[in-house]
Structure 1
Amino acid sequence: MTLSLDYAALSDVGRVRRNNEDSAYAGPHLLLLADGMGGAAAGEVASAAAVQVVRRLDKPGISGEDMIEALAGAVHRANERLSELVEEDQEREGMGTTVTALMFDGQQLGLAHLGDSRAYRMRDGQLYQLSHDHTFVQSLVDEGRISKEEAFTHPHRNLILRVLDGRPDSDPDLEILDVQAGDRLMLCSDGLPDYVSDDVIAASMAGGTPDSVVVELITHALEAGSNDNVTCVVADVVETPPTSGTTPQLVGAAAELAQGSTGRGDTTIAVPGGRGHGGGGGGAVLDPEELRYAPRAPKRFPWLRRIAVLLVILGLIGGGGWFAYSWTQKQYYVGTDGDYVAIFKGVDADIPGIALSKVYEQQTLQVDKLPTYSRQQVEGNIQADDLAGARAIVSELQRAADECAKPTPSPTPTTKPSTTPKPTAPATSRPATAKPPTTAPTTARPSTTPSSTPGSVDPNDCDGVR
């Protein structure tokens, strides 16, 4: 069974605002709403541009999961269009818009959502919010820090975290939803739910036709004191073709700009005690819409800022590089320069295109005159604290080389005591007396290894000296 949509759309500039920054579209295959922001004339330009791009999806032949791909592509194209508009007029820098779209293939709905405009579905007398607000207050509710009731009166309930703004990170929520005959769908800008409770919205959605419901909902918002534009799109899912025809409806800023109007709303609903959609009293009043995504007010000459930021970044990189290079040029080490010992200024490191060290003083000391251990140290480079330290290292190396240059002393021959007995005198008759035993004197054999003294060089370490 193929279902159809019976729809109506209405937008009102509100009781305080002087221009309408909401845009909406309703057609046989697409329901769409965009709430612009950014101050000056940028808000209506953003919402109208987004609607004009995305409304091209209102055609048959796109169904199932293909609707998600089509919606994602349309939102990204709308984002690119906003970027182009900012490039054309830098006064539009900082503008943005919400986007909430329901694509219909006769059996399912495809949802694309970005911002704080809302999509609802009424089924069997129960109102359910299909979209998820991308706002600061909703993030507090999601984290459990405040209740949904507290969010309704929170002073920062309109601060948006994600919108379509021409920047590359503007990705929408995408979802496929079931639909059945008897469902009633509704899209609205924040001018309605910020002032009208879900119970009142549900009561209005419970009866009447789409045309009467959009009027009733906007009336409730104005009576509640809404100081914002209010826009609603309502559609009934029906089994038979709608009696009101299938002519698409375009309302709000998109319709006004297309007709070359001056910026008034599409309609003004009379409210007892109300002021219509006029601007109100004198004096400059801060437009609350400028605070919604505030965060990004229009700025002049963005290319100058980009160049300035680039120059600052390059300055920091250059300054850091120069500081690092200056530090390397205060370091010294002792190494080899060909066959000779040399003092180097800098650090022993290789960076393509940059020399971090150079010979500062070449010495007359040849590397091959050093003891093996000292030679290995020099070939691996000996770090010094400063120039004086490097010269002290060279002096120590010279002393080691001089030690190895000294001839090794030859061992001195020694006379070995004779063991041949000497002739003894003839024996006499003298009485023998006890004579204490004697031992042959011993002499210490001199060592051929010189004694080691502190700071001396081990002769064995000089074997490699040439």
Structure 2
Amino acid sequence: MVFEGSSAAISHTGKVRSNNQDSGYSGANLFVVADGMGGHAGGDVASSIAIHRLEPLDQPYASVEDAQASLQAAATTAAGDLIRAAKDRPELAGLGTTLSAIIMVDDYAVIGHIGDSRIYLYRDDAVTQITADHTFVQRLVDSGRITPEEARYHPRRSVLMRVLSDMDADPELDMFVMHTQPGDRWLLCSDGLSGVVDEDHILKAMRMGMAPGRTSDNLLKQALDGGAPDNVTIVLVEVGGQHAMHSGTPTIVGSASNPSNVTVPPVRAPRGNWLHPVRQAANEPSHFEPAPEYLEELIEEDRRRAKRRRWGWIAGMLVVLAMLAFAAFAAYSWTQTRYFVGADDDSVVIYQGVQQNIGPITLSTPLRDTDILLANLPPYQRDSVERTITARSFSDAEAIVSRLQAGADRVTGETPLPTPLPTPTEDAG
């Protein structure tokens, strides 16, 4: 039975890499995404081999068991092809590819997966990640060492623990079957999308209800707006639903769409350009498949890195606190070089410091009580004292007090009278 629904496939080099090592396939019953690894030539070849080896599986199946067996056999054959390619062309050694595939059989989706490309399901207004990443950081998440959010930005997030490659003739795919229902949307994508666009934004794009082609374009635009540091490949499959079925020639995108199939580009020594360091690194492998014993070494290195980061954070906080303490001490020391004249209860006082306070912290202290009563000051001087009078120095503050004393003396009548001149007397002679 031919699958009833609509689909779309799209692939983009991204904004950093100079070539597209991804491949994608959207047919009548088969839908695949493969993300190649192994440098400029190897990644292209690996993902192309995987797509073209699985392409004959795009046909109706009598049962899900038949589809599963065919998918596993095709993946094993593809692994053999990669081994032979590396043997025939030594410069391709280390090539490999992720593989995420769906074969639609009646009302079921037969899923095969290896690597860190992903399959999501949009159903009942929710997006669910169906596949599990075969990565080092996913093992850290599964063991509780880091959170899923930390895994998104972990420096080892591209370290693959399982992949279709020239190192394993019998690849272990995750194989399972899921029931489908009208309205389901299955999203297959490389980590060029999932590493940039999170599930919340994928959900928003799905909710818009656009046709698979327009939804794929929307998701690709989000990845490009987010920087697109890797190739981006999207295959979107809609089960039934409101959009008409697209029939005809299957869609092949990415490196597998090359008419020459698995043409190997010539190996060229990289030419460095200090003005464009990103482009110089663009041909480096985007993934790495370590030997099994390397896992414990990575875990131990991750522990050391976490410890260094923790001590670095503590040291940084201590430096910041020391700088804040020094700044506070310097600021307080400066305030103690200032003076002002103000009121204390009922008398005039010279203060050391500044008039402002920081919360409960007082930045001034009484230095000398002048014994000049506020009540004895003229009204205008009393108001000035109550509002405080800033002095340039302690001697300036004493001069201000002298003027206030003179004002108080005039109010109380204690201003000394001028000495009278002597009375003139007649000259006795």
Fold equivalence (TM over 0.5):
yes
- The corresponding residue for 2:191 is 190
Among 252, 258, 282, the alignment partner of 2:276 is 282
- 1:135 aligns to 2:135 (yes or no): yes
Displacement of 1:295 after TM fit?
Answer: 4.8
Give the letter for the 1:105 counterpart: V
- The corresponding residue for 2:420 is none
Structure 2 gap ranges (5+): 266-272, 292-429
Displacement of 1:251 after TM fit?
Answer: 0.4
CA distance in 1, matches of 2:38, 2:263: 20
Give the letter for the 1:130 counterpart: I
- The corresponding residue for 2:252 is 250
- Going from structure 1 to structure 2, the CA distance change for 1:235 and 1:246 (only over 3 Å counts) comes to farther
- The corresponding residue for 1:332 is none
- The corresponding residue for 1:302 is none
Displacement of 1:195 after TM fit?
Answer: 1.1
- The corresponding residue for 1:83 is 83
- Going from structure 1 to structure 2, the CA distance change for 1:55 and 1:62 (only over 3 Å counts) comes to farther
CA distance in 2, matches of 1:201, 1:5: 20
- Going from structure 1 to structure 2, the CA distance change for 1:159 and 1:236 (only over 3 Å counts) comes to same
- The corresponding residue for 1:293 is 288
Identity %: 38
- Say which one has the larger Rg: 1
List aligned pairs for 1:175-214, cutoff 5 A: 175-206=176-207, 207-214=209-216
Deviation readout 1:345-378 (Å, 9 max, x if unpaired): xxxxxxxxxxxxxxxxxxxxxxxxxxxxxxxxxx
Displacement of 1:258 after TM fit?
Answer: 3.6
CA distance in 1, matches of 2:87, 2:51: 19
CA distance in 1, matches of 2:140, 2:225: 28
Displacement of 1:280 after TM fit?
Answer: 11
CA distance in 2, matches of 1:99, 1:137: 19
Runs (4 or more) in structure 1 with deviation over 3 Å come to 239-243, 257-263, 279-284
Task: Return the structure number with greater helix share.
Answer: 2
Displacement of 1:159 after TM fit?
Answer: 1.2
With normalisation by structure 2, the TM-score equals 0.62
Deviation readout 1:208-239 (Å, 9 max, x if unpaired): 11000111111101111121000000010017
Contact 1:6 1:244 in 2 (8 A): yes
Displacement of 1:17 after TM fit?
Answer: 0.7
Contact 1:16 1:280 in 2 (8 A): no
- The corresponding residue for 2:378 is none
Give the letter for the 2:95 counterpart: M
Displacement of 1:262 after TM fit?
Answer: 10
Structure 1 gap ranges (5+): 264-278, 297-466
- Going from structure 1 to structure 2, the CA distance change for 1:281 and 1:258 (only over 3 Å counts) comes to farther
- The corresponding residue for 1:221 is 223
SS in structure 2 at match of 1:18: coil
Contact 1:119 1:187 in 2 (8 A): yes
Contact 1:4 1:242 in 2 (8 A): no
Displacement of 1:282 after TM fit?
Answer: 3.4
- Going from structure 1 to structure 2, the CA distance change for 1:262 and 1:220 (only over 3 Å counts) comes to farther
List aligned pairs for 1:391-410, cutoff 5 A: none
List aligned pairs for 1:167-178, cutoff 5 A: 167-178=168-179
Work out the number of aligned pairs and report it. Answer: 281
CA distance in 1, matches of 2:25, 2:145: 36
List aligned pairs for 1:47-196, cutoff 5 A: 47-166=47-166, 167-196=168-197
SS in structure 2 at match of 1:78: helix
- The corresponding residue for 1:10 is 10
Contact 1:48 1:257 in 2 (8 A): no
- Going from structure 1 to structure 2, the CA distance change for 1:77 and 1:2 (only over 3 Å counts) comes to closer
SS in structure 1 at match of 2:141: helix
Give the letter for the 2:142 counterpart: D
Displacement of 1:52 after TM fit?
Answer: 0.2
Displacement of 1:294 after TM fit?
Answer: 5.5
- The corresponding residue for 1:24 is 24
Contact 1:4 1:241 in 2 (8 A): no
SS in structure 2 at match of 1:221: helix
Displacement of 1:168 after TM fit?
Answer: 2.4
SS in structure 1 at match of 2:36: strand
- The corresponding residue for 1:426 is none
- Going from structure 1 to structure 2, the CA distance change for 1:68 and 1:261 (only over 3 Å counts) comes to closer
Give the letter for the 2:285 counterpart: E
- The corresponding residue for 2:384 is none
Give the letter for the 2:131 counterpart: S
CA distance in 2, matches of 1:221, 1:104: 28
- Going from structure 1 to structure 2, the CA distance change for 1:211 and 1:45 (only over 3 Å counts) comes to same
CA distance in 2, matches of 1:164, 1:122: 27
Displacement of 1:153 after TM fit?
Answer: 1.6
Give the letter for the 1:38 counterpart: G
How well do the aligned residues superpose, as a CA RMSD in angstroms?
2.5
